[in-house]
Amino acid sequence: MTDTLAMLPSGIDTYRQPVVYMHEDCHICRSEGFAAETRIRVDLRDRWIIATLNVVARGQWLAVEKAALSVSAWEALKAQAGDRARFSHPEPPVSSSAIRAKAYGGRLKREDFAAIIRDTLDNRLSDLDLAAFITASAGNRLDEGETVALTREMQAAGETLDWGSEAVLDKHCVGGLPGNRTTPIVVAIVAAAGHLIPKTSSRAITSPAGTADTMEVMAPVALDAAALRKVVEAEGGCVVWGGGLNLSPADDHFIRIERPLDFDSTGQLVASVLSKKAAVGATDVLIDMPVGPTAKVRSAQAAASLGSRLSSVGQAIGLRVAIHESDGTAPVGRGIGPALEAADVLAVLRRAPGAPTDLRERALDLAGRLLDLAPGAESGEGRAQAETLLDTGAAEAKFLAICAAQGGFHEPGEAPQRIAMTAGVSGYLTAIDNRLIARIAKLAGAPRQQRAGVRLLVRVGEGVEKGQPLYEIHAETTGELAYARVYAEAHIGALTLSEDTA
């Protein structure tokens, strides 16, 4: 079969971007005119994918008569070693003209977004195509109508859960604040109050831990839709990873491109958040928006603009959205990193001596607002109800029951390698740079290494003596510890001290 090639797995993880590897002297590669970065259609039995070609130079690891597939391509085709597949040029993506129009400042219609989403999920769009769309949509280049259309199409491309309930509560934090791990506490309180709160969360994109990363330290989070439904029907709530649920699936493709671009796009952020909330079946959503100079939302003006767009788009797609602005000037709690943040969560739920007060108060504020949103609730009484549920141990019991339903509870561990970073002068801690302290935690290995990260030992406003430990770096290996320490020593501005001259 001269028009086919035998396939083998490359073992190369390219995340969600399927990649094909061919030898530069491969007869199909030459005959079809394939070159590096060419988009190729691969057909195997009743399955097909669109993949990007990487060309292997002669004398290297791949034989001329074979093609290798990346992990995602191999899994998508359900291939087995030795299978022979056909390779051809795919039809041009229908949405190319819409992306080009947006790049030149045009306004897109709902059918344009539908075509972009469809081509994205079929991998017909290259990374360059997706980057062009995301760049053309950055800033405020998506108006409210376009944002509504994009949100609806992102939701429509996947499943939507139906709970048959008058009220399904949910919350989301726009991010940018290390350690702000209120979600597991809020879910436990709201579920203990008898309300439905099926919480799906993401893994970290640019932070040292996402909610799913932290929750995974304590319980399994990679549940499918049937398992999620079983947990929520039994316990009223869950905290699971949304990546395996086919809820707004195009969002994961967009995030993969947005991460290295680091663009601030109001329209796409709103579409990402609200499409997933609508898909999980929520009716009432509370958005936590930390505002601070080193948070994701850095000014009151930016917060007002984003909050207005979230509210109006939510209303357009049938969601009741409430905005909660919170202090984003410094990290929350003590831990930054999955296991360290999990320890803070458990300390609050267990009412442990020394539990982080700021994490407790933030969680109570959010849980109280959510309880006030429930139908029939007496406005303003939710905070007191949330505090009672936490202080009596009802929230802790509900959290452990949710963990058990998701597959079993596990205590967080601690990393074997640690080093304390100390104060160079005596004085007062006046500021913590959220971005720098998060970077140190990531260099230590978080979130991939669950026990890695940073533990803060001093809070803003507290006095310190010269040589006193300010924070600890936690790592799994001495190499990762040393790497993070070198960065920390070069960026002492992560923590700002006002020198005590008294």
Residues 213 and 289 in one domain: yes
Beta bridge partners of 4: 86
Look at residue 205 and tell me whether its pLDDT is greater than 80.
Answer: no
Residues 84 and 174 in one domain: no
Q: Give yes or no: residues 331 and 223 share one domain.
A: yes
Q: What is the pLDDT of residue 500?
A: 63
The yes-or-no verdict on residue 207 having pLDDT over 90 is no
What is the tens place of the pLDDT at every residue in 120-141? 998 899 888 999 999 999 888 9
Q: What is the pLDDT of residue 149?
A: 97
Residue 150: give its domain's CATH number: 1.20.970.10
In a domain, 394, yes or no: yes
Distances (CA, A) of 90 to 129, 224, 325: 15, 32, 47
* pLDDT reported for residue 1: 57
Distance, in Å, from the CA atom of 117 to the CA atom of 112, rounded to the nearest integer, reads 9
Same domain, 427 and 332: no
| Strand pairing report for 47-56 and 84-88 | unpaired
Mean pLDDT within 216-226: 96
Q: What is the pLDDT of residue 166?
A: 84
465 part of a folded domain: yes
What is the bridge-based pairing of β-strands 84-88 and 4-9? antiparallel
264: pLDDT strictly greater than 70:
no
Q: What is the mean pLDDT of the chain?
A: 93
**Residue 178: which residues within 8 A CB-CB, separation 6 or more?**
207, 208, 331, 332, 336, 434, 437, 438, 441, 454
Is 356 a residue whose pLDDT tops 80? yes
Q: How many domains does the chain have?
A: 4
**Percent of the chain whose predicted confidence (pLDDT) is above 90:** 81
Together in a domain, 291 and 344? yes
Q: Are residues 221 and 365 in the same domain?
A: yes
pLDDT of residue 260: 77
Residue 82 is assigned to a structural domain of this protein: yes
Last residue of a domain, which of 68, 88, 108?
Answer: 88
Q: Tell me, yes or no, whether 421 and 386 share the same domain.
A: no
Active-site residue set: 264
Judging by beta carbons within 10 Å of its beta carbon (0-12, 13-18, 19+), is residue 378 exposed, middle or buried? exposed
Strand order in the sheet with 495-499: 463-464, 427-432, 495-499
Same domain, 356 and 376: yes
74 and 112, same domain (yes or no): no
For residue range 462-484, what is the model confidence (pLDDT) as tens digits?
A: 999 999 999 999 999 999 999 99
- Residue at 161 is within a domain: no
Q: Where are the alpha helices (DSSP H) in 89-181?
A: 96-103, 110-121, 127-136, 144-156
Region 67-77: mean pLDDT is 94
Domain shared by 79 and 103, yes or no: no
Full residue range of the structural domain in which residue 33 is found: 4-88
Distances (CA, A) of 416 to 178, 222, 463: 22, 27, 29
Which residue type, as a one-letter code, is found at position 192? A
Within a domain: 316: yes
Overall residue count recorded for the chain in this entry: 502
- Could you tell me if 424 and 449 lie in one domain? yes
Helices (H), 249-356: 250-261, 266-279, 300-316, 338-349
Residue 151 lies in a domain: yes
Same domain, 28 and 106: no
CATH of the domain at 298: 3.40.1030.10
Backbone phi, then psi, for 440, in 5-degree steps? -60, -45
Quickly tell me which residue has 């006002």 as its tokens: 498
Q: Closest Cα partner for 168 from 12, 320, 270?
A: 320
User: C-alpha angle 258/253/305, rounded to 5°?
Assistant: 45
- Average pLDDT for residues 78-95, to the nearest whole number? 92
Rounded to 10 deg, the angle between the 300-316 and 266-279 helix axes is 40
Residue 254 resides in a domain: no
- The confidence band for 243, taking pLDDT boundaries of 50, 70 and 90, is confident
Q: How far apart are CA 365 and CA 182, in angstroms?
A: 10
Q: Is residue 502 scored above 50 in pLDDT?
A: no
Quick one: tokens of 432?
């913590």
Last residue of one domain, picked from the residues 406, 431, 453? 406
Please indicate whether residue 376 or residue 249 has the higher confidence score (pLDDT).
Answer: 249
pLDDT 10s digits, 430-444: 999 999 999 999 999
Model pLDDT for residues 278-314, shown as the tens digit of each residue:
999 999 999 999 999 988 899 999 999 999 999 999 9
Percent helix, percent strand, percent coil in the chain, to nearest 5: 40, 20, 40
CB within 8 Å of 304: residues ≥ 6 apart: none
Instruction: Report if residue 252 sits inside a domain.
Output: no
In whole angstroms, what separates CA 102 from the centre of its chain?
26
